[in-house]
A and B are shown apart, each in its own frame.
Chain A
């Protein structure tokens, strides 16, 4: 039961983090290797705003997410716009920016276990005999709200529909007047917002550490590859696979193996089914 409940919670938070990565990829076809860096950076910004500038929690949270969106937009606007389409350069550039942010934070003092964000809803509850803290439930709740928000946004707004068009056929969307660069910026803003919001609800469960940036990145990539690059449904299902695998590893082996399992899962997927669970478009292209 414990495995079931913690696996569920873990899977939902994981799919939230990976959603940001998948969203950016499905629209701009750029794998944003700075995704994890934005995650850590938002947590650290929020900490700085609260502890050094003494803003209250909500203002700090909102400002730090805005900052994350701004950095995400600038990464595209200043750098990626010039190299989009050169796949290797995209990876190198986003990875370098991510490294610079993460290592910059480390150099700037983000070391050790002194940095924590406050728990928004303290306390815990017993569900089917398993003790779960409210913060974890809150993470699940926020995750579901964000999924709902995106569903509505994509289905019913002009910009959302344009994003969906670009994701399916960029050139056909251009012919209808949709600006691909503008939509790529929108996707970076949304992806960074998701990275930031997940940081704010997941960091309170532990400490803000720079290593989390690498973890988030590796798990986001694992989820995207297993689910099929750019497939949203695939990403959610893959989050559940990885999410439960993480909890099972934690229970039966040790936390240290979680990363190994994620990387193994990437390798196995690439060997058996390179286009992932739901990468049907890509698979079709491969066949043609």
Chain B
């Protein structure tokens, strides 16, 4: 189980995350919805530890001061101060916004780099990734930078899966994707939960395609969690309908 309790993140004096508490049960899919600049990525960075790297680099450059309050707890261990690679080792792997594929490496090499933490199951994981994303099979030797947006997103999720995560964080996996690829990605999220029992936390601006597959969801506005509930309760909430489905 992953828990975020009373998280606050400041970029200098700007409060990007305001007292957010979130729980993701083992093997569930949790959605985090909010418009642009609501704080979704900041939340994902706080769970994966990347925020500490951003903070350190800013401090080194003499840039903005970033402060984090609150706790991130994973399987009853406080991981708030662990570095991103340490959290990844524990099983928390982030598939970041805008995918961040290794552009000069081939598709296969991207996946192999993803297997850094789990060489033992590299073959098995590769098989699984190519099974849920068969299109990648045709492009194994293509350079990552030359793939289309949809293909890059499949590769980014596949690369994260190669690390055998127990919690997979997806930051805006549908961003800029055609409905065809959106469906592939949403289906893959279902499959990841069903066959691998991986906890998935997915942050999205466009809730409509994701809401049906989540077990529980949070809506954030300006850094605060304003509403939470199961898939049905969010679907039936009139405020959510008008704000996030454009109904």
Contact = CB atoms under 8 A, between A and B. Distances in A.
A256 interface: no
A169 B105 CA distance: 11
Contacts of B56: 85
A175 B60 contact: no
Contacts of A174: 50, 53, 83-85, 88
Contacts of A155: 109
Interface in B45-102: 48, 50, 53, 56-57, 60-62, 83-85, 88-89, 93-96, 100-102
A129 interface: no
Interface magnitude class on chain B? 20 to 34
Contacts of A93: none
B88 A172 contact: no
Interface in A52-87: 83-86
B100 A172 contact: yes
Contact of A175 (B57, B62, B119, B160): B160
A109 interface: no
Interface in B94-145: 94-96, 100-105, 109, 112-114, 116-117, 119
A164 interface: yes
A189 B113 CA distance: 21
B103 A168 contact: yes
Contacts of B113: 161-162, 164-165, 173, 176, 178
B13 to A, nearest CB: 23
Interface in A77-101: 83-86
A123 interface: no
A161 B61 contact: no
B84 A164 contact: no
Contacts of B61: 85-86
Interface in A225-247: none
Contacts of B112: 161
Interface string B151-193: 0000000011011000000000000000000000000000000
A179 interface: yes
By DSSP majority rule, is chain A's interface helix, strand, loop, or mixed? helix
B163 A85 contact: no
Nearest to A169: B100
Contacts of A83: 60
A122 interface: no
A187 B36 CA distance: 39
Interface string A171-185: 111111111100000
A31 to B, nearest CB: 16
A164 B102 contact: yes
B90 to A, nearest CB: 9
Contacts of A171: 50, 53, 84, 96, 100
Given A85-B56, A86-B61, A161-B109, A177 B104 contact: no
Nearest to A182: B85
A162 B61 CA distance: 25
A31 B104 CA distance: 22
A83 B56 CA distance: 11
Contact of B160 (A86, A176, A178): A176
Interface string A246-266: 000000000000000000000
Contacts of B88: 174-177
A175 B102 contact: no
A287 interface: no
5 contacts: A86-B61, A162-B116, A171-B53, A176-B159, A177-B116
Complex A-B, nearest 7 residue pairs according to Cβ-Cβ distance, in ascending order: A85-B60, A177-B88, A172-B100, A177-B117, A165-B113, A174-B84, A168-B102
